[in-house]
Amino acid sequence: MASSADHVAPIESNGAKRQFETPLRSEEGSRGSYRFKNKRMKNGHAVGSQVLKTNGSTEEVLLEDVTALIKKFNLEREGKDVSTKLPEKFSEIQVTIKELSSTGDGLGFQEASDSDQVYAVPFTAPGDTVTAKIFKHFEKEKYSMADFVKVSKPSPHRDESLVKCPYFSQCSGCQFQMLPYDYQLQHKKSIVERAYKNFSNLAPELIPAIGDTIGSPLQYGYRTKLTPHFDGPPDSRRSDGRNGIKRSFKEVPTIGFMKKGTRITMDIEDCPIGTDAVRAGNKRERKRVVDTLSSYHKGATILLRENTQRIPKEEYNPSVEKEDPDAVDEDRGAHIHRKTCVTDPNARTVEYIDDFRFINPAGSFFQNNNSILPPFTQYIRSHILPSNPGHKIRYLIDAYSGSGLFTITLSSLFQSSLGIDVSSSSIKSATENAEINGLTPDRARFIAADASKLFASITSPASETVVMLDPPRKGCDESFLRQLVQYGPARVVYVSCNVHTQARDIGVLVGGMKGVDGGCGTGEGCYELESLRGFDFFPQTGHVEGVAVLRKKEGKAGEEKSENGVKEEVARDAAA
């Protein structure tokens, strides 16, 4: 058999002119753009919108925190001269950290300097004095990005004995391993508070006291999905594919995750925030890549997804040899949960949330911290309906329903539930999951539709309906929010992995939407924020999940629209 190297295309072929070549990967800059980049936030819903004023991007969030810190600094030093001279790029300076930003970076000022330039330094805590290496100045915005080098004087909040990963302070995955968990939860509460202060455009009296962040039962060993990767051969180019060129690896590439603030892939042999099954799968897959390296001609991403087999205790025999030697057995009371790691994105994996069972393609989206899902879904169950027993709510609309997590776990509270998602494959999984959990179509059904045009087909009376929202990081678009306001459900529960776009969208629901009448007058807000708090799906990181519960205000006399009037407006906007 010919080796894979025999099939590598030559660099030049018969003198033919080749298409444009990109640089060698080995020569690409390690930073790329110095600005934060998140493909999922590209072209956010604020682009071109007259209503949505922010994309909730990392850059916008950091700038708000920087501006607030500078204002505080200048108030403290009122009347004193401020230096405008900045240290040279790539120089090392001493920085005293004043606070944690909502991005997870520490923010501070240069020691022995009168400058009000803020330095964003990862892996730091308020009270730290650290050595930091500057790699980019943003002079107009008055902040600089710097790499963490070492701690010169530790903060009282810092506890190095808590760190469980040898790659911490380099790998981009975790930011807070050196901080006690209670401190992490307090910080995440402040992230929610700042999000609503900076991005909701609401008066403080319209925002309720933020509840304490609900912690994860597991602070390590919780991630049921990891996706390490490796880059292509050093002599490869991004243009190789379109030029028909195949390269070969001459040595084993680094396999893992990005070094903080760079495009450099670190070699990560183990990740302690992964579950035991996922960590075992990582070890196995790293060996497989080495053993089959000749079959690879470019970089790849490795899927590591946990799968659960539930075995009744009476049927469990620990002496019987497991089919998968890496399987991990966990005692869950009446059952044993046998955990394995699946790497085929098209294979199907099983998750249990209490007694609910979900089956999904391994490569599809599902929440990655199973340990927090029972208290999380129970919290939503206890808040989705009004506290008064005489309410008339009977219907649930689950927009952005995915594979049915909320539609199914909340179904027993409603006469009927409707899940809607743009993805037909998600709708297929959700329909199967409803059947698996004993729900007939009259109790829970799913349709594929663009969420921005879904309300025209809704038949349940708005006054008897709750709308559940769990959009992507970008949040809801203007068209969707307009239709939601016009439909006017009795309650809205908004779950978000980006509390900044959540705050922006809820600002529209509570503060009003220009030119739109939701029953309280044109441009008037028709909702009140009933409760707001965070959930910590990703301990040791700067991420927090937000849960906001809204109730509709009592409509003003004479301004309530008929059901038909609302439907006509929604249909007209959807058609437009």
Among candidate residues 492, 493, 481, the one with its CA nearest the CA of residue 547: 493
The two tokens of residue 429 are: 């999984």
Q: Catalytic site residues? A: 497, 545
Among candidate residues 173, 172, 176, 175, the one with its CA nearest the CA of residue 260: 172
Measure CA 126 to chain center: 25
CA atoms within 13 A on the CB side of 164: 14
Dihedral, CA atoms, 425, 439, 480, 467, nearest 10 degrees? Answer: -150
Q: Is 391 left (phi over 0), alpha (psi -120 to 50) or beta?
A: beta
Among candidate residues 147, 131, 60, the one with its CA nearest the CA of residue 93: 131
Among candidate residues 351, 323, 319, the one with its CA nearest the CA of residue 337: 351
Alpha-carbon separation of residue 440 from 179, 437, 461 (angstroms): 47, 9, 21
Dihedral, CA atoms, 206, 214, 472, 538, nearest 10 degrees? Answer: 140
Per the DSSP assignment, residues forming a β-bridge with 107 are 99, 120
Measure CA 339 to chain center: 24
Phi, psi of 487 (to 5 degrees): -65, -45
| Eight-state DSSP code of residue 12 | S
The two tokens of residue 140 are: 């107009």
Collapsing DSSP to helix, strand or coil, 208 comes out as coil
Cα Dmax for the chain:
83
Per the DSSP assignment, residues forming a β-bridge with 329 are 338
Contact present, 493 and 468 (Cβ < 8 Å) = yes
